[in-house]
Amino acid sequence: MSDRTTVRPIEILLIEDSPSDADLAREALGHGKILNNLHFVEDGVEAMKFLRRKEPYLRVPRPDLILLDLNLPKKSGVEVLTEIKTDQSLKLIPVVILSTSAAQEDIIKSYSLHANCYITKPVDFVQFTKVIRLIEEFWLAVVQLPVN
């Protein structure tokens, strides 16, 4: 387990076009053991505004972890991942792909763009909640995240 000497909550950005999936993630993380703040945006354009702290996100914290769906409106998850991993100020933020796609081309493309992890999103409520809790357990309790 990582040694967190600060009481600061972990900042998580969920980029997900499904409000119901976002609600499930919020609920699962809210019942977890790690103090966190979950921020949610519904499309790729808003995600990049959030990450670059453009209106209306001028005062948002920099995420410690990004959960990214690939199938997004306005700007795809692949485009968002590309922008994150080619931006010097963002590229160290770990990005977990959380997508319904299990297609090998999506998995290969994501890893080639330096995604830190690829998880196929379960459609079952119980399994989805379990996956979110496993993400929390691993990425927030075990992994040493870079300091903002």
In DSSP notation, 93-116 reads: S-EEEEES---HHHHHHHHHTT-S
Taking only the tens place, the pLDDT of each residue in 96-145 is: 999 988 999 999 999 999 999 999 988 888 888 888 888 888 887 788 77
Residue 96's Cα: distance from chain center in Å?
A: 5
Residue 4 has pLDDT above 50, yes or no: no
Give the single-character DSSP code of 57.
Answer: -
Over residues 29-56, mean pLDDT: 89
Over residues 75-99, mean pLDDT: 95
> Which class for 124: exposed (0-12), middle (13-18), buried (19 or more C-beta within 10 A)?
exposed
Task: Report pLDDT for 1.
Answer: 46
Task: Report pLDDT for 148.
Answer: 67
pLDDT category at 42 given cuts 50, 70, 90 is: very high
Taking only the tens place, the pLDDT of each residue in 16-41 is: 998 888 888 888 887 766 778 889 99
Over residues 55-66, mean pLDDT: 93
Where do we find the tokens 């309790």? 141
pLDDT category at 7 given cuts 50, 70, 90 is: low
> Which class for 140: exposed (0-12), middle (13-18), buried (19 or more C-beta within 10 A)?
buried
Amino acid at 86: T
Q: 3 CB contacts (<8 Å, ≥6 apart)?
A: none
Residue 120's Cα: distance from chain center in Å?
A: 13
Q: Torsions phi, psi of 80, nearest 5?
A: -65, -45
